[in-house]
Amino acid sequence: MFIRQYFKNENGKRAAYWALVESYRTQRGPRQRVVAWLGKLDEAGRLGVRQAALSSEASRDTPADVGRTSSLAAKSQQQFEFDDDDASATEPRWVEVNAAGVRVENLRHFGGPWLAMELIRQLKLDEFLDRVMPRGQETIAWSLSSLILVIARLLEPSSELHTAEQWYPKTALPELLGVPEKHIDDNRLYRTLDQLLPHKAELETHLKNRLGELFDLEYDLLLYDITSTYFEGEANFDLAQRGYSRDKRGDCKQVCIGLVVSRCGMPLGYEVFAGNTADVTTVEHIVETMEGRYGKSDRIWVMDRGMVSNENIAFLREGSRRYIVGTPKSMLKKFEQELLKEDWNSIRDGLEVKIVACPTEDEDGNAAADDGAAKPHAGALTEANDSKSTERFILCRSRDRFQKEEAITRRFEQKIEDSLTRMTARCQKQRRNPMKVEREVGRLLGKNTRAANLFDVKVQKRDDGFARLSWSKVGANRDWATLSAGCYLLRTNVADWSDEELWKAYIQLTEAEAAFRIHKSDLTIRPIWHQKEDRVLAHIFVCFLGYVLWKTLSQLCSAAGLGDEPRRVLSELSEIRLMDVVLPTRTGTEIRTRCISKPSDHQQILLDQLNLRLPSKIKQKQM
């Protein structure tokens, strides 16, 4: 750095001003830029500025900096550095400041973007993007634009237009990334989506390996679940279809997203399916995709009952894969006698499990338990007594789940009973068409399917041709509803685990469900406004990367004893600001310095627990 004199005509007189100038290299040759305007300086002031500039340059030329600047990432993507070395500071010089004129300008959000950049550096996401997205003729590197999208998705998810025009200028990212506000607009961010999407598979592999290194993760248990997210607009492309909507938006087209996570919720990868895809048809594709990407090893696949079919079980067995899956509620009927026994293993208060034998078939082809007491049930999944199979079934009974299901059933039961009582009275008092009464009964039972099989309803014609309604409760079905309430059945071919270990592994599916909740609430993956298929896929990919940052922070919080919920930590640290403090002096010169607000006691505790050190100042580098 050096100081340079500039001249300006004021009232017919030539006035001299001084500026601190820095030389730097670019791909297009050496350039110079003004780091700070110093105003009018006397000889002592010029010497002080010169000393500060020389000390700053000397502090940069450390071995660590030399090694860092030798990498491509440091030259093109690492566009900022922090200076906390007091040894490089100049000797203090005292000036008189007009206290009434002290002001703060250019207040920006710093804590959130800075924390996101710390997470990105720990994941080496910046280095990866800089390697796979090399610089071309674009003004701003695609890798930097990609980071803007991911950080925005984590901190303030919104449209690309809002990100470019409203959010980005109010943050410290222009200083942290060295990308001026004027170079960021919605069109550039849209084009960034197109550039980022082709690297999906390679980036998923990089993140899986890096997360494993950071947190010593094991991927022996893979949890798979699927959800949907809907569109606003026409969405005229093949993936956008109408189907079963988890968001209760059957009026909108949607896509389905299958996500695979580890036992602690760390994502391995995802796939996008057409909106009308049945869950059960996605299993083979997901398993083969994950095995092709990460290799086939001794993993255990955990899936809920929506993924289970005889074909999928056969597919998993053919590849010698191990699994723990849920089963349809109807399959519990085969284990009615086991439900009545008292040989349950209590693994915690209100929860009991036990391993039961695989059901066999009797001579008539009906399913039966080993003691021959189970009743047949048409349409349920059955398994032949294959000597090669090591499949086991785990009965689970939850007291809290019993209370919930029993309350729901009784509410629907009471609603049907009250309605049938009123309809019977109407048929006795009025001349009603039997066809209309049958339709009313059908609508009533259709709206209350949870208790519909508890009633036997008959609509008959009287001698005069009008309707007579009669009904009664089915005692056997009511007894079964009470017995099976709170119970569910798992199936597995894992032979060396206890019933408690199997249940705990299956219940980890809540991690996949939690991942979807975070995607839909905190990361705002829905609704999707994009109308091009590639942009939709890229939007989902950016949400996935935002979730990776979320889970990384969650793991750091957990390791630091702060729990595994990063919302509060992210919210607290986001309150830290970057600002310009302007100090007018007696001589008329304004001293302008860029500062980071001092963290509160609570914020400092969080930083200490996370082993993060907030910089005292930023030395900005511009593109």
Phi, psi of 615, rounded to the nearest 5 degrees: -70, 150
In a domain? residue 181:
yes
In a domain, 20, yes or no: no
Q: Are residues 279 and 359 in the same domain?
A: yes
Q: Are residues 178 and 265 in the same domain?
A: no
Instruction: Could you list the beta-strand ranges (E) of 275-350.
Output: 300-303, 322-326, 345-348
d(CA 95, CA 585): 7
Q: Looking at the structure, do residues 236 and 359 belong to the same domain, yes or no? A: yes
Q: How far apart are CA 77 and CA 63, in angstroms?
A: 20
Long-range contacts of 442-445 (CB under 8 A, 24+ apart): 444/416, 444/419, 444/420, 445/416
Tell me, yes or no, whether 185 and 272 share the same domain: no
pLDDT of residue 368: 47
Q: How many domains does one find in the chain? A: 2
**Does any domain span residue 323?**
yes
Asked if 226 and 325 sit in the same domain, the reply is yes
Within a domain: residue 619?
no
Nearest to 150 by CA among 168, 175, 131: 168
**Domain encompassing residue 538:** 215-373+495-556
> What pLDDT score does 42 carry?
67
Look at residue 544 and tell me if it is in a domain. yes
Report the residue count for the chain.
623
Q: What are phi and psi of 163, to 5 degrees?
A: -60, -45
Q: Report if residue 574 sits inside a domain.
A: no
pLDDT at 191: 96
Q: Where are the alpha helices (DSSP H) in 388-456?
A: 399-429, 434-447
Task: Give yes or no: residues 173 and 280 share one domain.
Answer: no
CB atoms within 10 A of CB 483: 13
Cα gap 204→210, rounded to integer Å: 10
- pLDDT at position 69 is 37
Domain boundary among 136, 166, 199: 199
pLDDT tens digits for range 197-250: 999 999 999 999 999 999 998 889 999 999 999 999 999 999 999 999 999 999
Q: How far apart are CA 478 and CA 472, in angstroms?
A: 12
Q: Quote the Cα angle for 32-35-36, to 5°.
A: 135
Asked if 135 and 229 sit in the same domain, the reply is no
CATH number of the domain within which 367 lies: 3.90.350
Whether 262 and 347 map to the same domain: the answer is: yes
Domain boundary among 522, 556, 590: 556
Task: Note whether 220 and 324 are same-domain residues.
Answer: yes
Note whether 190 and 260 are same-domain residues: no
Domain end call among 199, 232, 256: 199
- The 3-class SS string of 103-134 reads EEEEEEECHHHHHHHHHHHHHCHHHHHHHHCC
Q: Which residues of 71-108 are buried (b: 16+ CB within 10 A; e: fewer)?
A: eebbbbbbbbeeeeeeeeeeeeeeeeeeeeeeeeeeeb
What is the model's pTM?
A: 0.80
Q: Are residues 260 and 316 in the same domain?
A: yes
Compute the distance between CA of residue 617 and CA of residue 92 in angstroms, rounded to an integer.
17
Are 326 and 222 in the same domain? Answer: yes
CA-based torsion, 382, 383, 384, 385: positive or negative:
negative
Residue 601 lies in a domain: no
| Under-70 pLDDT residues of the chain | 27-28, 42-92, 359-389, 619-623
- What integer pLDDT is reported at residue 62 of this predicted model? 47
Is 520 inside any structural domain?
yes
